[in-house]
Amino acid sequence: MRIAAKAPRNTNWKSEKGFTGMRNARQGTSHESRVTSNGSRSSSSWPDEIHRVLAGANVRQVGYVPDSGHARLINLVRADKSMRAIPLTTEEEGVALAVGAWLGGERSVLLMQSSGAGNCINMLGMVNECRVPLLALVTMRGQWGEFNPWQVPMSQATVPSLAAIGVVVQGVDRATEVGETVAAAARLAFSTCRMVAVLISQRVVGAKEFK
């Protein structure tokens, strides 16, 4: 008896369409979009600027937990032959990745959403004690225009939690200031061996809508 082979799962993360398809698969047929503070669809220029900054800072490893707010930046990293995009199962794995990269002579960055910041606290204690540089780029939820109440508590706790463990927190709420803020954070992190997190406001990322 012949058994038909299963069709391979779609694991293509190389385009915005790939992210949208996976989200829609989890959430039925609803369509997800983001709206910025001026009511327009969120701009893609700030992820491009971040990618240019990371390339200029010689970042070679980019750890990320899949996040639609970072989707374009992740795609840019995957297309960049000088960088390696590394998917993580949990955010704290990205902290370990940063330590390993630094010990191996390379620079890394951790991409995550504010909802995952709390997962890193214990691991960040090790980084703080060992003075390993860590640059984290955090897209915020639970702020401007949020529809999901579960995102609000961690959003409120992100800054005090990270600051309490020794992270230098730098917030940005204008798309035009994202690039220079990330550049300054990278210089601080890698020059002084500090943990620095750039919190990209939901006004920049855009509030989610489901239709």
For residue range 31-67, what is the model confidence (pLDDT) as tens digits?
445 555 544 444 559 999 999 999 999 999 999 998 8
Domain ranges of the chain: 30-210
Amino acid at residue number 39 = G
| Residues contacting 147, CB < 8 A, separation 6+ | 207, 208, 209, 210
Predicted pLDDT of residue 151: 86
- Span of 15-24, 46-55, 160-169, 197-206 with lowest mean pLDDT: 15-24
User: Mean pLDDT, to the nearest integer, of 132-146?
Assistant: 91
Question: Which numeric CATH code is attached to 30-210?
Answer: 3.40.50.970
Phi then psi for 196, rounded to 5 degrees? Answer: -130, 130
Query: What is the torsion angle, in degrees rounded to the nearest 10, for the CA atoms of residue 101, residue 107, residue 113 and residue 118?
Result: 50
pLDDT reported for residue 34: 58
Residue of 66, 65, 60 lying closest to 90 (CA atoms): 65
85-138, pLDDT tens digit by residue? 999 999 999 999 999 999 999 999 999 999 999 999 999 999 999 999 999 999
Residues 86 and 77: their CA atoms lie apart, in Å, by 10
What does the CA dihedral 110, 185, 50, 105 come to, rounded to 10 degrees?
-60
Q: Are 101 and 115 in contact (CB under 8 A)?
A: no
Say what the pLDDT of residue 211 is.
56
Q: Pick the more confident residue, 5 or 90.
A: 90
Res 153: pLDDT: 86
pLDDT of residue 208: 74
Over 80: is that where the pLDDT of 26 sits? no
The pLDDT tens digits of the residues spanning 176-201 come to: 999 999 999 999 999 999 999 999 99
